[in-house]
Amino acid sequence: MHPDVVKLLDLQSKDLDLLEIDTRLADVADEEAELDRAVEGAEHTVSAAAQAVADAVQRRAELEVKIETYRVQQERRRQAIEITHPGKRAATLMAELDLARSVLAQEESEWIRMADRVTTLEQEVTEAEAGLEAVREQQAPERIQLKEREADIQRDRDAALKARAESAALVDKRLLTRYDRLRRNRSPRVVVPMNGSACGSCFTAVPLHRRSLIKGGAVVEGCEVCGVILYIPEGGE
Ligand SMILES: [Zn+2]
């Protein structure tokens, strides 16, 4: 095997280690995201309950304004009746007073209903806040574990990066550029053993003269079709 291919294979194994480590990091991130979603769900419940309270409080305040207006109007009617001589005008005012009284009673009972509703909704906010707190408490040990796992993996990653850099330093610069470009454009595995007389990646037959070059280890040969760097494993054909 060409000595450069041996170095490339070592580099590739370091890169595959890094990939595996990155997968583990992504798993941890996924698990954290799942915990975050649970918190967000509980937070949403709290804010929806708080919004319902705010709406009910506003409705209650609107009723108070309305009721106050009705009361003022009723007071004016009473005063008007007092200074009006009995007759058609006084009868009309009396009828208006009675009608408005029942409307006012309806609005007042609506106010009581809304005040009760505010109390109920405030209770729901308290419960939702307790629910959120419970979710956070329940997650705390799991989050600590995840952070520890992440720190461990990060340490592995730092070591793997160092090993990768050391391995890459041994590879010929032009070959390293070719290898890195292939990896970016194709797959993480770009130094590939031949499969019999064919490329081990795309399975296109490799011409005999190129096969003997590869076998002799004289050059670093790539597949003419897919570009991967080919080698014949020890003990191979
Ligand atoms: Zn190929």
What domains are there in the chain, each with its CATH number? Answer: 16-168 (1.10.287.1490), 172-237 (no CATH)
Q: What is the DSSP letter of 233?
A: -
Would you mind telling me the total number of residues written for the chain in this entry?
237
Q: In whole angstroms, what is the distance from residue 204 CA to residue 115 CA?
A: 80
Nearest residue to 192 (alpha-carbon basis) of 231, 223, 220, 226? 231
Q: In whole angstroms, what is the distance from residue 42 CA to residue 139 CA?
A: 13
CA dihedral 178, 181, 185, 188 (to 10 degrees): 80
Average pLDDT of the chain? 94
Residue 98 alpha carbon to ligand 1 centre in Å = 96
Residue 201 alpha carbon to ligand 1 centre in Å = 5
pTM for the complete prediction?
0.76
Each residue of 112-149: pLDDT tens digit?
A: 999 999 999 999 999 999 999 999 999 999 999 999 99
Residue 200 alpha carbon to ligand 1 centre in Å = 7
- Would you say 194 and 214 are in contact if contact means Cβ atoms under 8 Å apart? yes
How many CA atoms, within 13 angstroms, populate the side-chain half-sphere of residue 198? 7
Which residues 6+ apart lie within 8 Å of 8 measured at CB?
A: 171, 175, 179, 191, 220, 229
Query: What does the block give as tokens for 172?
Result: 């010929």
- Would you say 164 and 14 are in contact if contact means Cβ atoms under 8 Å apart? yes
Query: What does the block give as tokens for 167?
Result: 């391995």
Residue 115 alpha carbon to ligand 1 centre in Å = 77
Each residue of 57-109: pLDDT tens digit?
A: 999 999 999 999 999 999 999 999 999 888 888 899 999 999 999 999 999 99
Q: In whole angstroms, what is the distance from residue 234 CA to residue 237 CA?
A: 9
Instruction: Judge whether residue 236 has pLDDT over 70.
Output: no
